[in-house]
Amino acid sequence: MAKYFLKRLIYAFFTVFIVITITFFLMHAIPGDPLGELVGRLPQSVQESYYAKYGLDKPVYQQYFIYIQNLFLRGDFGESIVYPGRSVNSIIARGAPISARIGIQGLAIGISLGITLGIIAAYKRGKWMDYFVMFVALFSISIPSFVFAAVLQYFLTVRYQIFPVTGWGTFAHTVLPAMAFGLRNIGVKARFMRSTWLDVMGQDYVLAAEATGMSKFDVTFKVILRNALTPLVTIIIPELAFIFVGTFVLETIFSIPGLGTYFIAAVSARDYPMIIGQTIFISTLYVTSMLVLDFVYVLIDPRVRLIKK
């Protein structure tokens, strides 16, 4: 087991390494210049000193080696070009928890409501309630998030001043973005849960459990839920990785100081260290989540054995 995970860990490490390499060169291949806007109108000599400051005067492969060196020897993601003096590490360390907070709250809304609706729909299969829930679910999937967020903002902050428009710090600030984040999730999770639930409900062991005289409550929560959770967990864990990087749309509309805006802004400003730093962050999270998933599988589904006997 330990050996298996060690092996996976090494694979994961290589995956991230290759991702870094690909992104690094891909990024330098695209047009655009991180300093263009900043120093474009400055004398040549000033420009040069600026490029030199960020090591951008060297050939790309050299920049790559320097970067890799700093990364592996000191865990240093470098310094942002757009925000001079700020280390990418610190920006991530500050922004990721904020993004994650919105993500977790949104996911919590999405998962709890989605699961509930999905289960209701499954039990009422073929009835109007089922159709209604599924229609709502589909509808929630079909609205672009920026439209929904804008409408939400308009009604709950401008029209009825229930929540602050933007800002960060209190719980009230997180409500709207989490709602907007959760909405789509409700639909996705409800649909997923419904089909999984129906699947499990049709299994013989559910009938067998009932035949032992279990109550409806126990059958629902101890047998069906337990078994329906496995597939759910497998789709949620990778999602958990991505909540740390936030969503650009919501973070822009609600001015949340998370990572999402930084990410898109970094890409469009060609803030190389920021882009790579965040890419590493995201892919590490993703790869880790896959590892965790494997681990969780073993925990929640006894049928899964990592090594055949």
| Stretch near another protein under the rule CB under 8 A, chosen from 56-64, 65-73, 111-119, 140-148 | 140-148
Quick check: 83 binds another protein (CB under 8 A)? yes
DSSP letters, 220-260, are IIIIIHHHHHHHHHHHHHHHHHHHTT--HHHHHHTT--SHH
Quick check: 121 binds another protein (CB under 8 A)? no
Quick check: 153 binds another protein (CB under 8 A)? yes
Least distance to another protein, CB of residue 268, Å: 5
Residue whose CB is less far from another protein, 26 or 66 = 26
Quick check: 213 binds another protein (CB under 8 A)? yes
Least distance to another protein, CB of residue 156, Å: 11
Least distance to another protein, CB of residue 23, Å: 6
Q: 1-18 burial, b if ≥16 CB within 10 A, otherwise e?
A: eeeeeeebeeebeeebee
| Interaction residues for another protein, span 244-303 (CB under 8 A) | 245, 248-249, 251-255, 257, 261, 263-264, 267-270, 275, 278-279, 282-283, 286-287, 300-303
Beta carbons of 208 and 263 less than 8 angstroms apart? no
| Stretch near another protein under the rule CB under 8 A, chosen from 57-65, 68-76, 111-119, 155-163 | 155-163
Quick check: 63 binds another protein (CB under 8 A)? no
Beta carbons of 180 and 110 less than 8 angstroms apart? no
Closest CA to 115 of 34, 218, 193, 217: 193
Q: Indicate the residue type of 244.
A: F
Q: Alpha-carbon distance 110 to 124, whole Å?
A: 20
The length of the chain, given as a count of residues: 309
Beta-carbon count within 10 A of 160 CB: 9
Residue whose CB is less far from another protein, 2 or 212 = 212
Selected from 78, 95, 118, 182, the binder of another protein by CB under 8 A is: 95
Least distance to another protein, CB of residue 44, Å: 4
Q: Alpha-carbon distance 155 to 159, whole Å?
A: 5
Least distance to another protein, CB of residue 22, Å: 7
Least distance to another protein, CB of residue 207, Å: 6
Q: Alpha-carbon distance 264 to 249, whole Å?
A: 10
Beta-carbon count within 10 A of 33 CB: 13
DSSP letters, 263-286, are HHHHHHHT-HHHHHHHHHHHHHHH
Least distance to another protein, CB of residue 150, Å: 5
Residue whose CB is less far from another protein, 51 or 116 = 51
Bridge partners for 87 per DSSP: 79
Residue whose CB is less far from another protein, 12 or 111 = 12
| Interaction residues for another protein, span 170-199 (CB under 8 A) | none
Quick check: 167 binds another protein (CB under 8 A)? yes
Q: Alpha-carbon distance 107 to 109, whole Å?
A: 5
Quick check: 207 binds another protein (CB under 8 A)? yes
Least distance to another protein, CB of residue 68, Å: 17
**How far is C-alpha 44 from the chain's CA centre?**
42
Q: Indicate the residue type of 248.
A: F
Residue whose CB is less far from another protein, 30 or 73 = 30
Site mask for another protein (CB under 8 A), range 22-61, x = bound: xx--xx-xxxxxx-xxxxxxxxxxxx-xx-xx--------
